Structure formats: C-alpha cells, structure tokens
Amino acid sequence: MSEQTPQDTAARSGESQEYLAKITNEPTNGKDLREVARVVFPANKDLDSLPLYIDGPINVEGPSSAGSDTASQHPDDIISRRSARIRPGKRVSFGSYFNAFPASYWRRWTVADSVVLRVKTTGAGSLIVYRSNARGVAQRVEDRRVEGTDTHEFELTLAPFGDGGWYWFDLISDDEGMILDEASWLVPSGDRHVGRVTLGVTTFNRPDYCVNTIKTIAAAQELDAVLDELIIVDQGNKLVSDEVDFAEAESAMNGKLRVIRQGNMGGSGGFARNMYEVLQGRETPQGVEKSDYVIILDDDILLETEGVLRAAAFADMCHTPSIIGGHMFDMYNKPLLNAYAEVVNPYRFLWGHRRPGRSGLRRARSAFAAQAAPPLGCRLQRLVDVPDSPCGHGGHWAVPARVHQVG
C-alpha cells in the first residue's frame, strides 16, 4: 500500500474546495429561467393520492425529513392546485414523487447544470432545502427563516448527482401557521425553443374514461401554453362521441379535440394512427402546422396534467432528441408504482414490466424520500434509465417523442 503524502492531501483538499465552490444558494440575478416543474397538489383534493405530492399525508403524524409531528388530516389544508396550509407548529415535507426535483435525470440528459428553487410563502416559519444521493442519504443544503409574504430563491448545482439523488424542501410553521402560496423549479433556458405537444389516445369501448380525460385536459388551463391538439382514435362500437357528457367536454376543448373513427386494429394500430395524423399536421389559418412532440396515452387513465408540462420541458432541454417514458401507477391504489418501464425478453420475445434488481423498481409505495426505509428509498433515489438494460423501452401508457423520431 502506498503512503499518503502531504501533497496528495492538499490536492484532494483543493478538489473538495473547488467542488464546494460550485454550490451556491444565493438568489439568481439576470438569468433567463424557464419553469420546468411546479409544486402541485391533487386537483380534486384527493387524499388517497396525496402521498405522491407530500411526503406522507399533509399535517398528519409520521416521519418528515427531520422528525415527526402530530396534527389532524383535512382536505381543506389543500387550498388550491398550487397552495397548501401548514398548521401552527407543524412540519410538511415536499420530498415526494411529484414535488421533489429529479436532479440526477436532469444532470444526465439535459443541458442544465443548475436548478433554481423558487418558493413563495405567507407567515412565519422555516424553509429547509435537502438533497439526497443514490443511496437515499439525505443532506441538508440550507435553512432559511421566513416571515410575512415573500419569495425565496435557491440556486442549486446539479454537479453532485452523477448516479442518483433529488432536491426537495420542507416547511416548518411557527405558532400562527403558514401558507405555501406557490413553488416551482426552474432551469436556465439557454434560448431553447418551447415545444408544442399533441396528445394521442387510442380507445376501445371505454367512452366514460375518455370523456373524463377530455374534461381533465380541458380544465387544465396551464396546458394551453404547449397543447396543440388531443386526438382520440376510437376503434370500438361504444363510441366516445355518444357518451352523455361528450358534447360539453368537446366544447370545453375550444377546438383542440379531434376524434377519429376506425376499425379495431389493436393498440398498436391505434397508436400508429395517432402518430400518422401528427406527422400529417393539422390545418390552421396559417397553413399546415405540426407539433414538436406527440405523447401517446392509454385510454383508461387518470391523467396528471402537470406530467405533460414536465415531459415537454424535459424534452426541450435534452442534449439530443430523446424518447421519454412515463411511469405507471395503480388507478385504485394510487400511491402504488406498478411499472418504471418495460423490457422485452430477447429469448422468449415477451414484454413485461421492468423488474426489481440492482437498478430496477417495481411496486414502490408512496413516500419516496431519502428517509424512506430501504430498499424503497434507495431504488427511487438511483438514476435508472431504460437504455441501461438490453431491449428496454418506455411503457406504452405514456411516451412523449419528437415528431421526427416517429416519421
């Protein structure tokens, strides 16, 4: 074994100082930032799905990033889609599937080298920023006292996230309680183009699910910034257009809905028709226009519209044009993650969900945060990409792709 020299120690110390110098939590000035993920809550105050948005039910007994508190759970603590109440003396952690920031994926696949956390609060309390590593170990990045109504910014480096890890934040209220007015994650825009999206759904005799999806999309006004069109390829004999609420849902889409009838050609035939229609473009007063992306969706889903915005933003910022897979949760046991992606067995030529293993994840329940008991916390913290395994691919239930990639 070779001996350590003072020069070796000094060199490593210098490297550490250089690395730490990349970490800054000062407010950003003069940077052109793009909002790539908003902190959100269930649209209908659904407490069953709340563990996907809060690390454990809001204001209820259980672990947070640094302890536990007791309070009663109530849907009225969710004030709006973007705002929530933290009761007096209690702590709420946003280290959750939907509201933490997947730093390792942004570092691996995009041009971003930093992310800005912007949090607006009302009331007095503490705001604490955390990060994790691939092993699920949490580290406090900064804590800040807040009071009154103010907006707080933290510029956070993506340098430490080579193999996994997330950013998130906790709020601890003082004796009078506090409110999270809104929060979001932003990255330097780099003059990147804001892509437009077409959503494609294939259905067979599930008109009620489709109409509910249309209503969900129509109600999400934030989608107007990126959504060109929703195309539904109807291959059944129980037609979406015959559903009782269809006319109302169609009107709410303001011309952004197109339903196509064709014979039953299976899921692949329906998805192929969706992609074909997007490639052909759509007629507008300015001529034929094409979306930048097509996102393929199943028909029997409950859509989190924030996911559409995040997928489009992530695709816009990728180093190279990429196909981005979506995860699949259980519709009836909502915090249950059924599949991370899909793989094909090259010997038996059978497809299936990505199974647990060194880098796999299956059926991970609710609170993903770093303090979750192993192996759950570690599996969600690790950087896992479909290309890591032979014959891996994004699941058919939600796949955004650039239009030229399906041409």
Contacts of 224 (CB under 8 A, 6+ apart): none
* CB of 101 closer than 8 Å to CB of 155: no
Cα separation, 314 vs 385, whole angstroms: 14
- 0.85 exceeded by the pTM? no
pLDDT at 361: 35
Range of the domain at 166: 18-188
Q: Verify that 224 and 80 share a domain, yes or no.
A: no
Is residue 3 a part of any domain in this protein? Answer: no
Which residues of the chain are under the pLDDT cut of 70? 1-30, 56-73, 340-346, 349-407
* Number of domains the chain is built from: 2
Residue 134, domain CATH: 3.90.550.60
In a domain, 7, yes or no: no
Q: Are residues 208 and 171 in the same domain?
A: no
Q: Which residues contact 73 (CB under 8 A, 6 or more apart)?
A: 47, 57, 58, 59, 60
What is the per-residue pLDDT across 23-65, written as a single tens digit (0 to 9) for each?
Answer: 444 445 557 999 999 999 998 888 888 888 988 544 444 344 4
Residue 13 confidence (pLDDT): 44
Give the DSSP letter string of 149-166. Answer: EEEEEEEEE-TT-SSB--
384 in a structural domain:
yes
pLDDT of residue 333: 83
Q: Residues 398, 294: contact at Cβ < 8 Å?
A: no
Q: Tell me the C-alpha distance between 346 and 77, whole Å.
A: 50
- pLDDT for residue 136: 80
**Residue pair 229/199 in contact by the 8 Å Cβ criterion:** yes
Domain boundary among 124, 154, 188: 188
Region of 51 on the Ramachandran plot (φ > 0 left; ψ -120 to 50 alpha; else beta):
alpha
- The DSSP element (H or E) to which 84 belongs, if any, is strand 84-86
- Establish if 154 belongs to a structural domain: yes
User: Do residues 177 and 203 share a domain?
Assistant: no
Looking at the fold, whether 171 and 203 belong to one and the same domain comes out as: no
pLDDT of residue 401: 60
Where does a domain end: 170, 188, 206? 188
User: Which amino acid, residue 46?
Assistant: D
